[in-house]
Structure 1
């Protein structure tokens, strides 16, 4: 390849531009959906459901899945390809589905700086909690169906459309298996590294990294099945450090920056990478402090701060940072091996994305 590699500082700029353009397209999608959605004309709840999905979908997020999808197509060609916009819509609608159901499972009141879909319904129907729950479940289900429907309506060739639906449905299935395993993990006092990685792989990597790359390649006319093993290795490594990053921020992050309170994993009794590392590092009085806070909804910000101080003093924060860096470097090396096969510029993005993501935290 004779192309010039994309300078690393341009990657955030490029991703931000991609997010802006996609957000405009996403807004257009929801406007068109509101006009065309088939529902009983007398139904008031159906338009409200669509409004809540629209609000959550457009409220935030860096659209890294979308950027990865477009960059995957650029691995093959710099030219526009049919079906790429619809693939991006499908991936983000699947993300919306996951967020709605995740907040139901976790009883989460806040998402992306606003009320979760579940809590929006709870606020609207305070005297009918079961109906609020049911409506939230159905909203998440609808987002999943819409994610597949948008692919079926794409202008991609029929064979590509069929393959894309297969990729996204497999990602959705993996996400659900990951959610189940996530709950199963929290029945274990001290999960193994293998179990933690499995949750990350299925709950995050399959739909956030692997599926966007596969969809981008398919839209560009490449068969991702030819490179399945290496794409899965890359997705798994990125998924591990991204999950570690989210878990890290839940204890060590800034609530104002994240748009939600810290310590939620601790209060919910979740055996995340961070909480598992803290449990493995403490004993005696410190262990008693951590275990008293674990799974206690009444756990105060002061208690969260105390657990954070214990984690720092026991080297947990430093260890997590080192682990994130290690997995990011492994992912970067995996992508660098794509260079002889695909376009230099796009390979550079996949090579430097893991390191850029970790450096933002450091």
Structure 2
């Protein structure tokens, strides 16, 4: 059954890649843009390039498998929902790269740095156009749902889901920044950030949209869907934070230690500070927020963490939350289809085993 699931995942990814490309092909012709504007087509080009450069498309997979919980028949509205999910993701990437001053994204220049290169003598213009590009992606993510060929009630419910997901994500981005101004944020704060910033739009919204498209009423199962999404979101964020220091830089395609240099009070930083002695704590704290921190210093902190057993403890925590999430999904067997439930049981474990 796992092999069948993996084959379905590949199929979803391939089909969506074609769908996304076709969407941008038609968007340029259908968007109401003044004939004199050169900046608007350029903005659409940058959004297209970023959107089509890849990503795991796991949100699209979750959407389709959520519909399969209710039926294995073709379901109208999934294409529109998939486009909406990934356009909201594009919005988030554009703004995240601006907030983090990131030069690259998915193997190419970030939207912000593409604009900085074009408007070298006009930094405010580059920043403004970056914000507006992200805003346009958000508006398009809602527009595709408004244009979906589904019953009015379903369309309205889908728009409500995505609007709420976007609102929660913005709140998550705000508290993510706030977290790093909090002295020693506790685990509950980190869980809350992971929930709002990631889990609600990456996991909960695809679940809700897929069920809505398939004729279900996700509001009837709100608590268990939220619990599942939150637990998987925590697993995923822990894994991201773990890989940032203890991952394989070659496999990830980026250097380790970014969170430390950026001063982020991540799960890994919290685990480090809880495990080290006073001398080692001073070393970690000196690196935290130091953009000039050398690879050698990052390697030394990694070695300290390994010696203190931080990777093992973090992996044990990830497995614990993954098991809790899988148990929530297992409870769906009495209501929904076996093979789709099995998929959602496996998702948390895949989340904590990934290498990138």
Global fold match (TM > 0.5): yes
- The equivalent residue for 1:350 is 344
Query: Hey, which bits of structure 1, 4+ residues long, moved more than 6 A?
Result: none
TM-fit CA distance, 1:361: 4.4
Aligned residues: 356
Matching residue of 1:182:
176
**C-alpha displacement of 1:289:** 1.5
Q: Which moved more, 1:191-200 or 1:278-287?
A: 278-287
Residues 111 and 260, structure 1, Cα contact 8 Å, conserved in 2: no
Q: Which protein, 1 or 2, shows the higher relative CO under an 8 Å CA cutoff with sep ≥ 6? A: 1
1:4 corresponds in structure 2 to: none
Match among 192, 212, 218 for residue 218 of structure 1: 212
**Cα distance in structure 1, aligned partners of 2:167 and 2:289:** 28
- 1:160 corresponding residue in structure 2: 154
The 5 Å alignment of 1:254-333 reads 254-333=248-327
Aligned twin of 2:353? 359
Instruction: Please tell me whether the aligned partners of residues 171 and 196 of structure 2 are also in contact (alpha carbons under 8 angstroms).
Output: yes
Secondary structure of the structure 2 residue equivalent to 1:75: helix
TM-score, normalised by the number of residues in structure 1: 0.96
5+ residue gaps, structure 2:
none
Matches within 5 A, 1:1-362: 7-361=1-355
User: Contact 1:39–1:46 at 8 Å: present in 2 too?
Assistant: yes
Task: Decide whether the 8 Å contact of 1:112 with 1:258 is kept in 2.
Answer: no
CA 56–256 in structure 1, closer or farther in 2 if over 3 Å, else same: farther
Q: Aligned to 2:168, what secondary structure does the other structure show?
A: helix
What is the CA–CA distance in structure 2 between the aligned matches of 1:289 and 1:145, rounded to whole Å? Answer: 45
Distance 1:11 1:245 in 2: 22
CA distance in 2, matches of 1:270, 1:181: 12
Give the superposition deviation at 1:60. 1.5
* Per-residue CA distance 1:59-103 (angstroms, 9 max, x = gap): 121111000000000111111111110000000000111111111
